[in-house]
Amino acid sequence: MSAVSGMREYLRANDRPPAKVKPDGNVEDPRGPVGFSAALLPYLSAVGETDLRNRQMNRVQSEFDALRGLYGKPAKYYDQNLLLFALGSAERRFWFDSQGELKTSWKP
């Protein structure tokens, strides 16, 4: 996990993940979509960053549109997919084990 600590460090100083990062590591667009925040939830949990995880989860929850049942303003397809897997993992409905195999709560 230490090999991929750059995002953790970035989130300590920023409220959301970036949308675009140049090959040299400089942020090109700091306004990452809600799906990117969701995608970081399993990582932040795995590295024990509870405060950072909670900040990203708060962002995810704040962008939920109860009328449409979608996240983001405007809602985008790719974000919904990232949210599906991130929230499924966070709620332990389904996840990937250390071998990359899909595990589900309904089929042990």
> Over the stretch 16-64, which tens digit does the pLDDT of each residue have?
999 999 999 899 999 999 999 999 999 999 999 999 999 999 999 999 9
Report the distance separating Cα 55 and Cα 82, nearest Å. 17
Phi and psi at 88, nearest 5°, equal -60, -40
The answer for residues whose C-beta is within 8 angstroms of residue 62's C-beta and 6 or more apart is none
Average pLDDT, the chain: 93
pLDDT of residue 108: 67
Determine contact, residues 63/72, Cβ cutoff 8 Å. Answer: yes
Tokens of 21: 């990062």
| Chain centre distance of CA 30 | 15
Report the distance separating Cα 108 and Cα 98, nearest Å. 15
Its pTM stands at 0.86
What are the C-alpha distances in Å from 28 to residues 34, 39, 59, 85? 17, 19, 21, 26
